[in-house]
């Protein structure tokens, strides 16, 4: 949940994040296409539009002029990290931030800059090391502690992330981004009342961002206040129809209530909005298998899972076969079952027996 929350959980951010990773890897053509898709989701007057236009132009220039960019993962020494190319990547990374926040990032030293690029490259552990050094160099910087908390959360060290956020909160108690991150960490730690308390002031300011509503919904769900949580999730998707996490969480609550039909509809929506999310697709496929819902939705979820979760392909092939059989396509079910047996590790004897029994039952049909 957290990684999606911190990228604001919307179609724009998802496309932007993916394009950033492609850019950092030196795949400028695919990065350009990703930025172009993200650009199509924002209006010309949006402050992000100018940054995206700049990124698209940079991709076009780099595709022609530059060699493949080195990854921070390949460099061990800070001196190696602070190369001109890293400086360029840092500037691109903060280009869409509001000017005052961008300046607060820009004035920090090389450790912070390298850490921020490492974070964008998905090197959270490396980012932690660099941000810790930056925090020792600039202990009174709010953004250093904010990004340190973010990277600590991504490596699963929520306790230390909470401590870094406490420092950030003392330095800038009214910052909305810090409150959102702090609430998300509190939810992961099971501190639902604390999370809600951190978010209520943002609601009281009026017209809160969709992610504020979403996190309050998560906190309320954790407190067992299901109807209020569902109301917050409805408000979330009303303001941001592409907020797939809200559809999924609402569906989870409804499933727990026994309304599996509503859960199916919401999980199907979430999976279509975020087709590479393993959790959404697994839950959707499992729900279809357990109930008499549209097999096409289950098959589509399995197809997506075959691409994004290759380690469990044998299971998805079995699910595909089971959905085929339910449709009466027993002959067509044989091939995926045979492929599942080929992929299934030998030590998974119980699962192998189940698949073999299923294949045997349709062998002569």
Of residues 154, 148, 162, 232, the one with CA closest to residue 190: 162
pLDDT single digits (tens) 207-218: 778 999 999 999
Q: Which of 285, 304, 323 is the last residue of a domain?
A: 304
d(CA 13, CA 30): 16
Of residues 235, 289, 242, the one with CA closest to residue 269: 242
The reply to whether 297 and 316 lie within a common domain is: no
**Residue 255 lies inside a defined structural domain of this protein:** yes
The reply to whether 329 and 353 lie within a common domain is: yes
Q: Which of 287, 304, 321 is the last residue of a domain?
A: 304
pLDDT single digits (tens) 85-137: 667 778 877 877 888 888 899 889 889 988 988 887 778 899 999 999 999 99
Range of the domain at 282: 243-304
**Residue 3 lies inside a defined structural domain of this protein:** no
> Which residue would you say has higher pLDDT here, 71 or 115?
115
Check which CATH number belongs to the domain holding 248 and give it: 1.25.40.10
pLDDT for 71: 47
**Residue 203 lies inside a defined structural domain of this protein:** no
pLDDT at 74 over 50: no
The reply to whether 324 and 290 lie within a common domain is: no
Predicted TM-score (pTM) of this structure:
0.75
What's the number of domains the chain is made of?
2
The reply to whether 314 and 361 lie within a common domain is: yes
Q: Which of 286, 304, 322 is the last residue of a domain?
A: 304
The reply to whether 293 and 313 lie within a common domain is: no
d(CA 141, CA 167): 10
The reply to whether 292 and 313 lie within a common domain is: no
Of residues 133, 59, 120, the one with CA closest to residue 93: 120
pLDDT single digits (tens) 312-343: 999 999 999 999 999 999 999 999 999 999 99
The reply to whether 300 and 316 lie within a common domain is: no
**Residue 335 lies inside a defined structural domain of this protein:** yes
pLDDT single digits (tens) 259-307: 999 999 999 999 999 888 999 999 999 999 999 888 999 999 999 999 8
**Residue 2 lies inside a defined structural domain of this protein:** no
């Amino acid at each position: 949940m957290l990684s999606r929350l911190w990228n604001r959980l919307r179609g724009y951010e998802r496309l932007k994040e993916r394009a950033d990773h492609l850019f950092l890897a030196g795949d400028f053509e695919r990065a350009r296409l990703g930025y172009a898709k993200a650009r199509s989701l924002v209006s010309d007057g949006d402050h992000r539009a100018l940054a995206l236009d700049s990124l698209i132009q940079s991709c076009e220039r780099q595709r022609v002029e530059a060699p493949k960019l080195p990854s921070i993962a390949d460099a061990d020494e800070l001196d190696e990290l602070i190369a001109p190319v890293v400086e360029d990547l840092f500037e691109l990374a903060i280009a869409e931030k509001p000017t005052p926040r961008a300046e607060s990032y820009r004035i920090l030293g090389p450790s912070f800059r390298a850490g921020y690029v490492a974070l964008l490259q998905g090197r959270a552990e490396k980012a932690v090391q660099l941000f810790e050094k930056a925090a020792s160099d600039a202990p009174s910087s709010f953004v250093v502690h904010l990004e340190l908390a973010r990277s600590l959360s991504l490596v699963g060290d929520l306790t230390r992330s909470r401590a870094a956020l406490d420092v950030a909160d003392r330095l800038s108690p009214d910052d909305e981004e810090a409150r959102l991150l702090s609430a998300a960490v509190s939810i992961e730690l099971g501190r639902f009342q604390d999370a809600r308390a951190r978010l209520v002031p943002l609601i009281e300011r009026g017209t809160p961002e969709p992610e504020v509503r979403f996190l309050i919904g998560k906190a309320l769900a954790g407190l067992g206040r299901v109807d209020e949580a569902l109301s917050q999730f409805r408000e979330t998707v009303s303001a941001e129809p592409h907020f797939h996490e809200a559809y999924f969480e609402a569906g989870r609550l409804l499933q727990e209530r026994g309304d599996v039909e509503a859960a199916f509809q919401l999980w199907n929506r979430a999976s279509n909005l975020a087709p590479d999310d393993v959790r959404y697709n697994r839950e959707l496929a499992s729900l279809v298998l357990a109930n008499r819902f549209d097999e096409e939705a289950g098959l589509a979820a399995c197809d997506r899972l075959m691409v994004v979760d290759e380690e469990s392909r044998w299971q998805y092939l079995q699910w595909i076969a089971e959905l085929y059989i339910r449709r009466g396509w027993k002959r067509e079910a044989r091939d995926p079952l045979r492929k599942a047996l080929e992929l299934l590790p030998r030590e998974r004897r119980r699962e192998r027996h189940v698949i073999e029994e299923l294949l045997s039952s349709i062998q002569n049909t």
